[in-house]
Structure 1
């Protein structure tokens, strides 16, 4: 049975001069090792709820438990050192290096210099950056996506069990946002932190969350459930309207490339003789070959009309660009890549960047049909299990 990490009991926050409470009698249990998303319309109280958890804002009434300890009675500064916090604006100190930013909390905890240096390098590497290159740079020398990665690294610096994330990827361009989301989910799969994550974006909630709390005004919980259950069986019209149209497409965010059977595609190498490639295309059932380099990394798609003459100058730089995805990408991400890809096909690579297979539109359709069947059966089973009121 999953252990409860954070428990909110009848939590209420009233701000002076406001008629209605921002958070009104909220009770919620957050399981250990899961990402719980707080999602809802603007002004519903989700960010206020998050700030109450680490007591950036003090509750008017109610209690907050962390590991069964009532933390409304402890020193708030000591509490915050146990909790990582990431915000949309990142909040890095501009006049401190990346290493100094990440070391902020460990220094407050009086870690020794060697331990801090080791932890800084571990975290920079963990978020997909090179410690040697970045540890001595300043925030202004990083891109927005890199600063956001360092913000996540800083939140994890003291290895907290709990992380609070307030729209952490909201101010980033869509392509970088997808990459950071995927990178964070990869890290979470290893570390299993307990994470409370605020967003206004239901698509992000579905992609990132183990559980989602859909909140009405006052942080009243409209539905608290898994993404699958919320998509298949919304509790009421408010939840259904918040999900919006396209629930079937949203379900593609629940499955990842690693969950499906990959297809194969005929390949060739960059140093192949174009005459041999032309013969292979003529003899095969595909109108293109996937060109791989000497490390089996996909480079281009090559078709007959890309082959000039019959000589042997190789295929380096010849052909059409390749849409590449990884096993951690969602089927929704993959479908987005496939929309403009050659043959409506995405190429899957492993951790080393080597070719692992392909995903085509038929594979996506089959996966979507399978999800509809499973979810339809689950909904039917729930209806069958519900008691029926006797006829009057």
Structure 2
């Protein structure tokens, strides 16, 4: 494991305040991971994050980035190496989307050609068609679209490190889930080192490779993987902060890509009703999934739909193919989608929307059973050394 950022005894005292806002914080942040700062309001988590890129200057302590002490370097140069995303997004309203994304590359002296290519690349990465969105202004976009642009702008200069301060906090719950999943998909490709601030433990569990639960003055109560924190809270503060429902929260520790998918019969939208009927009857399922020419799911068609009169093609009968998720979706998100799905199943698609398989209730149950077994093994492994030593 390579350490990207080291915080050594980092402290911040504000004038007129008796106690420090951040008190001698030390931690290592691994390269390529999302590290979450989470804690109650006023604990100092946002202040800590802003110390890393020196938007707030530390009173004492050191910040080590790539083995270089950046505590005393030019702060503007430091910030160009670190992307920054905030809840309010902060796009420049008088600039187009392309101009917003190009802000840091222009400061870095990139050529116009390189900047244009980078803008197109980033818009595509955040699922915004460059030809459609590049020349629009922020006011012409929805809140979720503006947040995606904010992420793209933070990546403009291709920084190794990104700081994200409650980036999805102002988005409605449905779009927040989608943005979280989209960002996890992006992170699986770009593998940046990310410090992410939230007050929401569920978001922390879903998004983080590691979580730092902070108490007053940014004192670390526990810094570990989400799984370890859920299984073994370090103290009462952590246990209270996690709250009830830790078992359900563990569904956000596993992703669709971690489990074995099931498969329903699939049929091309140009196929005949008779072919669809035969496929369903040969399977143990009650319906077939109709795919278009690019293997994208379009409709669920059951025997009852096929038995009705008419000569409509498969693409026009049945029910919409709802509850669609990506491999990066958590089991918790997938379960939420399944609760309203017609066949209690979620359809899994790749980045191009092509069918990969299905997650059903049995898949979720099997994953939960596996997590329980792993938890019991960890607890046994922890107890055995204590028993051997007479503890």
TM-score category (smaller protein): over 0.9
User: 2 CA distance for matches of 1:316 and 1:291?
Assistant: 7
Instruction: Please report how far the alpha carbon of residue 16 of structure 1 lies from its aligned counterpart in structure 2 after TM superposition.
Output: 2.2
SS of match in other structure, 1:378: helix
Deviates more, 1:178-187 or 1:364-373: 178-187
Number of the residue aligned with 1:41: 40
Instruction: Please report how far the alpha carbon of residue 378 of structure 1 lies from its aligned counterpart in structure 2 after TM superposition.
Output: 1.5
Number of the residue aligned with 1:384: 384
User: 2 CA distance for matches of 1:287 and 1:108?
Assistant: 59
For normalisation by structure 1, the TM-score amounts to 0.93
- Per-residue deviation, residues 312-365 of structure 1 (Å, max 9, x unmatched): 332223222322112121111111111111221111223332222211101100
The alpha-carbon distance between structure 1 residues 117 and 275, as it changes in their structure 2 partners (threshold 3 A), is closer
Instruction: Please report how far the alpha carbon of residue 280 of structure 1 lies from its aligned counterpart in structure 2 after TM superposition.
Output: 5.7
Number of the residue aligned with 2:71: 72
- Per-residue deviation, residues 222-274 of structure 1 (Å, max 9, x unmatched): 00001110111110111111111111221111111111111121233434444
Number of the residue aligned with 1:374: 374
Does residue 252 (structure 1) correspond to residue 247 (structure 2)? The answer is no
Structure 1 gaps of 5+ residues are none
Q: Is this contact kept in 1: 2:265–2:279, CA < 8 A? A: no
RMSD: 2.0
1:13-24 aligned within 5 A: 13-24=12-23
1:56-205 aligned within 5 A: 56-205=55-204
Q: Is this contact kept in 2: 1:84–1:162, CA < 8 A? A: yes
Deviates more, 1:370-379 or 1:264-273: 264-273
- Per-residue deviation, residues 159-179 of structure 1 (Å, max 9, x unmatched): 111111101111112222222
User: 2 CA distance for matches of 1:278 and 1:59?
Assistant: 69
Number of the residue aligned with 1:365: 365
Q: Is this contact kept in 2: 1:274–1:313, CA < 8 A? A: no
Q: Is this contact kept in 2: 1:270–1:293, CA < 8 A? A: yes
User: 1 CA distance for matches of 2:69 and 2:275?
Assistant: 72
Q: Is this contact kept in 2: 1:271–1:313, CA < 8 A? A: no
Deviates more, 1:222-231 or 1:246-255: 246-255
Does residue 313 (structure 1) correspond to residue 308 (structure 2)? The answer is no
The alpha-carbon distance between structure 1 residues 270 and 115, as it changes in their structure 2 partners (threshold 3 A), is closer
Q: Is this contact kept in 2: 1:269–1:293, CA < 8 A? A: yes
User: 2 CA distance for matches of 1:390 and 1:357?
Assistant: 50
SS of match in other structure, 1:343: coil
User: 2 CA distance for matches of 1:191 and 1:286?
Assistant: 39
Aligned length: 390
SS of match in other structure, 1:157: coil
- Per-residue deviation, residues 86-137 of structure 1 (Å, max 9, x unmatched): 1010101000111111111122222222222222222112222222221111
User: 1 CA distance for matches of 2:370 and 2:330?
Assistant: 15
- Per-residue deviation, residues 133-157 of structure 1 (Å, max 9, x unmatched): 2111111111111111111111111
Deviates more, 1:184-193 or 1:337-346: 184-193
Instruction: Please report how far the alpha carbon of residue 36 of structure 1 lies from its aligned counterpart in structure 2 after TM superposition.
Output: 0.7
Deviates more, 1:76-85 or 1:351-360: 351-360
Number of the residue aligned with 1:342: 342
Deviates more, 1:373-382 or 1:206-215: 373-382
Q: Is this contact kept in 2: 1:272–1:312, CA < 8 A? A: no
User: 2 CA distance for matches of 1:157 and 1:172?
Assistant: 23
Q: Is this contact kept in 1: 2:35–2:210, CA < 8 A? A: yes
Q: Is this contact kept in 1: 2:97–2:136, CA < 8 A? A: yes
User: 2 CA distance for matches of 1:351 and 1:115?
Assistant: 25
SS of match in other structure, 1:12: strand
The alpha-carbon distance between structure 1 residues 356 and 389, as it changes in their structure 2 partners (threshold 3 A), is closer
User: 2 CA distance for matches of 1:125 and 1:283?
Assistant: 41
SS of match in other structure, 1:316: helix
